[in-house]
Structure 1
């Protein structure tokens, strides 16, 4: 399998090009997935302005704002890796409020935040209309084996050793959740060293 080293800037350019190559006749849903040490939200943020410069409206959403209430999320304790793997994310809410409205023929009206996990209450967010040819950039972890609808999916891959080394102590209990994770991604980026990412497959 070909692995192409890239600079962080070149990675942004590569992903912006792939997103902008998607048809402008409808919305583009882009999932950026990675374990917490890869900080997929930071990469998603870096795509916003280049895409807007190409005339693409952009909406940023984080899966962290679509977690289930604590009563469900922590039903089996605060450090249960199976619950973290399967029950923390409100897949139904994310699909209903964010991804579904951007189906072809959908309303284009997205709720950018649903649940404030820190306060354990609903966000008071308003719906946002994503304009024609708009791009949704959704970041999160463990997203890419849940059959979420998307036009492009990106996985920031960490080797098991790098994941164990880089995961903060407070989250080490989640390590078993990644053992069975098999993401289905359109683009895979080796991300053991964020300053030296490498694209798995063909550039361009």
Structure 2
């Protein structure tokens, strides 16, 4: 299915459509949903907005972010703090993510999963307790680089949020000052490391080819479905 009209939706209409699509997916294991997109595209906000309406349908929702699966700083910055390649290749522990969460919730999985293995604020390993998922559970997982080759086959549904880089940087300059300092410091970091890293991801992994739905999220209050392969 392709939406050629690019009609703008209200926020509620978008959430309702996505909830209906996700709830209708039939699997013999928990449904694993990826909310992908560039930095500051609105992934976390969208993922959080899906939780309550899915729970109201009687589904158990497991809410996790890629931030819980960072690599240690020594690995993340081994190519330099401004390295785009370091951002794309070294930021996250994908094997641990698969072994702790995606495989247990997948076909013939144990249903015993963890939601976190690392605290990047303290740069320390912190294993969350193991939980048991019911077969009707839904994993809502947000983060960058989720449709890369190491992960793309582990999702049952994926959304990609499309936002221009200048819009993303402007949002980040307000959001990430507690991490990097002033708004100008944030912008410099993004244009040196994060945006080139995202360009590398878009070029090598082509997430728009893999996502089940692509959403223009430039204006979060008036999102637009660019393309959907789901009814």
Q: What is the TM-score of this pair, normalised by structure 2?
A: 0.82
Deviates more, 1:172-181 or 1:6-15: 172-181
The CA distance in 1 between the partners of 2:53 and 2:99, in whole Å, is: 28
CA deviation after TM superposition for structure 1 residue 161, in Å: 4.0
Please state if 1:39 is matched with 2:42: yes
Aligned mate of 1:155, from 139, 151, 160: 160
1:21 is matched with: 24
1:100 is matched with: 103
The CA distance in 1 between the partners of 2:110 and 2:55, in whole Å, is: 21
Is the CA contact (8 Å cut-off) linking 2:159 and 2:215 kept in structure 1?
Answer: yes
Give unpaired runs (5+ residues) of structure 2.
Answer: 174-183
Give unpaired runs (5+ residues) of structure 1.
Answer: none
Deviates more, 1:167-176 or 1:131-140: 167-176
Residue by residue, what CA displacement relative to the aligned partner does 1:127-165 show, whole Å, maximum 9, x if unpaired? 111112110011001211234211000111112443344
- Where in structure 1 do 4 or more consecutive aligned residues deviate above 2 Å? 159-169, 201-204
Is the CA contact (8 Å cut-off) linking 1:60 and 1:138 kept in structure 2?
Answer: yes
The CA distance in 1 between the partners of 2:91 and 2:106, in whole Å, is: 24
Is the CA contact (8 Å cut-off) linking 2:214 and 2:226 kept in structure 1?
Answer: yes
2:90 is matched with: 87
Deviates more, 1:178-187 or 1:94-103: 178-187
CA RMSD, Structure 1 to Structure 2 (Å):
1.7
1:58 is matched with: 61
1:141 is matched with: 144
Q: CA 1:120–1:160 in structure 2 vs 1: closer, same or farther (change >3 Å)?
A: closer
Aligned mate of 1:111, from 110, 114, 131: 114
**Higher helix fraction (1 or 2):** 2
Is the CA contact (8 Å cut-off) linking 1:58 and 1:130 kept in structure 2?
Answer: no
The CA distance in 1 between the partners of 2:169 and 2:71, in whole Å, is: 26
Please state if 1:186 is matched with 2:230: no
The CA distance in 1 between the partners of 2:163 and 2:169, in whole Å, is: 9
Q: CA 1:7–1:147 in structure 2 vs 1: closer, same or farther (change >3 Å)?
A: farther
Is the CA contact (8 Å cut-off) linking 1:4 and 1:201 kept in structure 2?
Answer: no
CA deviation after TM superposition for structure 1 residue 16, in Å: 0.5
The CA distance in 2 between the partners of 1:29 and 1:38, in whole Å, is: 20
Aligned mate of 1:197, from 187, 199, 223: 223
The CA distance in 1 between the partners of 2:80 and 2:49, in whole Å, is: 35
The CA distance in 1 between the partners of 2:87 and 2:25, in whole Å, is: 33
Please state if 1:176 is matched with 2:196: yes
Matches for 1:113-132 after TM superposition, within 5 Å: 113-132=116-135
